[in-house]
Structure formats: C-alpha cells, structure tokens
A and B are shown apart, each in its own frame.
Chain A
Amino acid sequence: MNLTIIILILIFSLSCFFFGKTKVSNKIKISRGKLNSLPKYYGYYLAAWCGLPALLILILWTFSELYFVKFIILSDFKADPTIDENKLNLIFTEIVSIAEKKFSGQIPQNLIPYAERFLSLKYIFELSKLAVIFSTILFSIFFSYEQILKNIKAKESVEKIIKSVMFCCAAIAIFTTFGIVLSLLFESIKFFTVVPIFDFLSGTNWSPGRAFIRDASTEIADVENVFGAVPLFWGTFFIAAIAMCVAIPIGLFSGIYMAEYASRKVRKIVKPLIEVLAGIPTVVYGFFAALTVGPFFRTLGEIIGLEVSSESALAAGIVMGVMIIPYVSSLTDDVINAVPLSLREGSFSLGATKSETTKKVILPAALPGIVGAILLAVSRAVGETMIVVMAAGLGASLTINPLEASTTITTQIVTILVGEQSFDDPKTQAAFALGITLFFFTLIINIIALQTVKKFREQYE
C-alpha cells in the first residue's frame, strides 16, 4: 500500500518536473519576456513541492496511524485496573494477529469483535490517508504554480529546498545517536532502580545467571551481589592492554617505515596491503583466534609445562592487536607525513642520519598525533566484540593471568541478550547498563583522541 503511494508520488513529481520545465517556463517567457532562472529550475521547484510535503505526510501518517488505532481499540480495556501496560501490549498483539489471521492456537472469543474493529479502523485510516495525501499534492502543486507565476526566483528557492533536505539528513543521523543514548539511558535507569549503581560499578562478583533463581516464598529475584561489573571492566581493560602491546609497536614501526624509509614504490604496495587487515571481518579474526591461535598457545603451554586454557585472554588480545595494527600504522603514517619536510631537511643538513632525525625530530613533533591514533585504536579495542566472544571465554574472573579465560563488557552484553529474554528482567536490563558504561568509556577516549589530533593539526597548518 505504502509502496504504491510512494511510486504514485514519484510519478506525480516527475510529471511536475517536465510540466514546469517546458509548459510553465514557456508561459512565463511569453507573459514576462524573460526567465529569471533556467527552465529546469522551474521543473525542480514544482517537483519538490509536489513530492516532499506528500512524502512527509505519508511518513508521519504511517507512524501515528498504528498509535491511534491502538489507542482506540484498547480504550475498553484501560478501565480494568487489573490490566497493566505489559498486558495491554500483549492483548493488542493478539488482536492484531487475529485480524491478520496469523494467530496460532485457540482464538479467544472475546477478542474477535476487537479484531473486526481493528480491520475496519485500519481501512478508514488508509482511505483517509490516500485522500489527505492526494489533496496535499494537488494543493502544493497549485500553490507552487501560483508562486512561479508571481515571478519568484525558482533557482534560489531550489537552493533553499536542497539545503533543507541535506539538513534533514544530517539531523536524522544526529537524532538517531540521541535516540540510542536515550534508550540505553532509560533501560539503565530501570536497572539501577533494582541494583544500586554503586554495587554495579564496584561489585566484584558477576554472575547474572543467578538473578533468575527466584526466592520461592517472596517471588523476588536475588539481585544482590550478582551484578558487580568490576571483573568485566578489568577483563575489557586487560584484553585491550594485551592488544595494544601488539598493535602499538608493530603499528608504530610499520607507520614510521612507510612514512620515512620506504620508497614511494614500496609504500604504494605496502600501505594498501596493511590496510587489508582492517577490512577482514572481525568474525574471521574470531575463529582465527579460537581455532588457530588459542590451541597453538595451549600446545605451546603443554610443551613447556604450563596450563593454558584453550580460551584465553592472551589469544583474544593478540589477535585483536593484529586487527588494530592498520589503525595505528595508517594514522601514524599520516601524522608523520604531516610533519613539514623543512624540519627533516633542517636535521639532515646538520649531518643527522635518518633514524636520528626520526627519533629526535619527527617523532617528538608528531607525538600528539600518534597519541591520538593510539587512543582511537584503544577505543576500537574496547568496543570489539566478536573476537572476544569466540576466543576469550565467558567466565568473569578477576585474574591477571593472561592464560586463563577472561571476559569483557561487550561479550557479556551478547551473552545476556542472546536467546529469549523478558525486558523487565534485571538481567536483561544489565546489558543496557553495561552498554551505556561502555559508551561512556569509548566516548571519553574518542573525545580525548580527537582533541589531541586536532591540536597537532593546528600546530602545522
């Protein structure tokens, strides 16, 4: 239904375009002697006025329709104080599935009249939607046609329309971010009403599975002391630290090699090759870590008489480190290249070798940029999920032994949310609390990183 309407709107717009480009511009030419814009702008102007308001109404209508129908249908049930909001939602879902003949099992007889009512309401709404949209189209075509005849400058108006369309797109991106943060925030607040935020941030025991075990006599979930997130924070930090131990030296040195030592030819080949690492899907890294690196360390451990679990923080950390090498090396390469050639020449002219120049002049000059690059890589490592899920294990333990299994915030979010969950369960809500904590971590790291990179740029521009 909606698709048909969209296609119709587009067809209308297209015809408006040609109508404006030929007929209308001709008419103005005859009546005024001269056009104030190219004929195609009259076309764009009419087409935009024809299509945009109609599309906007279509979107708003579609979203609000369901809400109104639901409101009207459920008004009967709202009088009953025993039915809470969750139950209302459930009833409505049942009514809709009865109406759409998708209901499985015994159909509750009392709901059938409502299902019929739902169908008739929907029919009315759809019809009025059509009517409203097409009267909008007619009205806006008429309005814009009048405007053109008043000799408004179509070119400038089209500029304004384009500007506002682009602004809307940017706004959508920003509002989505806000939406995500808000939804995380609301769910987390629900969680923190059950589990005190202090217990969450400082507790050292993480076993949300036990929150399911309900006390038979009181029907209250045992939420005390099972949502201590410290082991997760530690695991996240620990694995990220191992990853950085791999990524910083290798990334930094390969970045320096590409920027200072490699000839242009070599650089042209090596740089894209290193960047291929960044293009490998993380799930591939995940099974590389789980199937190759993990067992390799276990065998290695057996040989030297160490007990290494096949899921270890070490394997996950190292593979994650390999994954973020290109982030560090590419950015290092960029910031080193941004150091002016004159500084290199100054150093060379004093008889300094390449490595002396790099160590004493280039690196200190590029340091803020490199620090920024590393911080961006850290935030990538902290947010990485797949590798850890597959290679580091699930047991939350406070250990400094890299050979044991470990777990991170992201892994726990996945474990909590996979499978069937009810959304009013503190265990599920814990995922949102973890999510928002992680979001704040990476946000802060990113802000610091971007700030340092910016400072570095200003220095040389």
Chain B
Amino acid sequence: MINEKIKISTKNLNVFYASKQALFDININLKENKVTALIGPSGCGKSTFIRCLNRMNDVIDICKVEGSIKIDGDEINKKNLDVNLIREKVGMVFQKPNPFPKSIYDNVAYGPRIHGLAENRESLDNIVENSLKKAALWDEVKDRLNQPGTGLSGGQQQRLCIARTISINPEVILMDEPCSALDPIATAKIEELIDELKETYTIVIVTHSMSQAARVSNDTGFFHLGKILEFNSTEKIFKNPDNKLTQDYITGRFG
C-alpha cells in the first residue's frame, strides 16, 4: 500500500458543453498500474471525465475543460501543448469497436508508423506480433493478417483495438465501456486481458456493469450528476459504501 504511486491526479476539474456544465469540481487520484473503474448512471459524466485525460474533448467544438489534470506531475490541461504527445502516452479504447477499414496488420501498425517507432519492416512485424499477443488475439489472426480488420467478430475487433492502442506503448489505457457491445464470452476475454494488462499499464475503465467493476478493478469511483460522490477501493465501495446513493446504485435500486 505504501509503494502506490499516483499516476493521474485532477484538481477542481470542471467541464462545460456550451453553457451546460457536465462535470463539477472533480478531484481524484488514479494509481499507477492499477485498474480504476468509474461507475454511475448514464449521462453522469464518466465518459466526459476520461475523455479529459487524453484531451479527446478537444475534438468537440463546444466542449470547454477547466481545472488541472496532472499526469506524472505534469500539467496536461493547458494551451500550447502538443496533444498528440499526450495521446501517445494515454491510449483509449472506445465503446464501439472502431477498427480502421484496413488490414489487421495495418490496423496495429498504424500507430507505430505514425510515430516512427519501427526502423524497418522486421521490427514493425515484431511490434505488431507482440501487440496482438498482448491483446490475446495473435493465435486467432496470425494466418490472416492481411484480411480486413472490419471482418472480425465484435469481440475480436475490440481486442484488435486494444492491440492497436498498446502498439505505441502508452502508459495509461482509458477504456470507455469496452464491453458494452460484446457478448458475455467476449466480455470475459476482455476482462481477463485487463487483468494481465495492469501489470504494465495504468487502466481506467468506464463500465455500466457492477459485476465487471467488482471483478476487474482495484479502485472504484461513483459518479452522479457530474460529481464524484465516492471514490475508494473497490472492496470498500462494494461491501460497505459510505454514501447511501452509492449503496442504492450498486444494489440496483436506482440508475
């Protein structure tokens, strides 16, 4: 417990969509090499929050982010910062699998090519193979790397997206409801994968499934109406939450 290092910390984080405020004073510390689950009813700001962590909200014109977000102590929510460097460091897996309409190989090689991580074909092959192995997809696709990534099943597509994310060696992986479009078997595979990935990466996962949060995470944060009501170890949250609302939500009495 003593050696736990804080990877990401936010201070007084407020987010606005045009004039509507989506997040209110979020203060939160996410630990390195741990899985943090964010739960809460739809529209409570979970996704908005993790999209702040890799500046993905920049894509949305009307979105304004105020406050401080530090990764390894460095402020990332400031102007004149190369957002691409942050995104290289903080990868993201989306709700719906979104492989590019390219071959499986090119999907994984996309990031390394852009950042010039491989000097020759051989080392690129290695990166692709390792990423696919880490994403537990290699055995299923090694004979058809040249086929389109969009032709895989939903679960395979999502693991391809995870492979794509880890191909550029990020430090943090954000997952925005990565299993909500998948069947239970594919979900189980992804959860297994998350367990392995936390050895190397810091993982933040947004989920609607209580059992998933309980299974995969070390810490859990409960969001409600744009505020973080409770943040604690997963064990504590699920066994003995401080907040009545948290208790109600977890037991399925609302939300």
Contacts and interface: CB of A to CB of B under 8 A. Distances in A.
Contacts of B56: 345, 348-349
Contact of B98 (A345, A351, A352): A345
A301 B101 CA distance: 48
A459 B148 CA distance: 13
Given A263-B61, A264-B61, A356-B114, A348 B98 contact: no
A351 B164 contact: no
B102 interface: yes
Of A352, A353, A356, the most chain B CB neighbours within 10 A belong to: A352
A346 B165 CA distance: 9
Interface size class of A (residues with CB under 8 A): 20 to 34
A365 B94 contact: no
Given A345-B56, A345-B59, A345-B94, A350 B114 contact: yes
Interface stretch (B38-46, B66-74, B84-92): B84-92
Interface in A344-365: 344-353, 356, 360-361, 364-365
B98 A350 contact: no
Given A263-B61, A346-B94, A346-B161, A352 B114 contact: yes
Nearest to B85: A351
A361 B168 CA distance: 17
Interface in B98-129: 98-102, 110-111, 114-115
Nearest to A360: B110
Contacts of B198: none
A245 B65 CA distance: 44
B92 A349 contact: yes
B96 interface: yes
Contacts of A348: 56, 59, 87
A263 B111 CA distance: 26
B207 interface: no
Given A344-B59, A360-B110, A351 B88 contact: yes
Interface of A: 263-264, 340-353, 356, 360-361, 364-365, 459
Given A346-B98, A349-B87, A351-B115, 20 more contacts: A340-B98, A342-B96, A342-B98, A343-B100, A343-B101, A345-B92, A345-B98, A346-B94, A346-B164, A347-B110, A349-B54, A349-B91, A349-B92, A350-B165, A351-B168, A353-B84, A356-B114, A360-B110, A364-B101, A365-B101
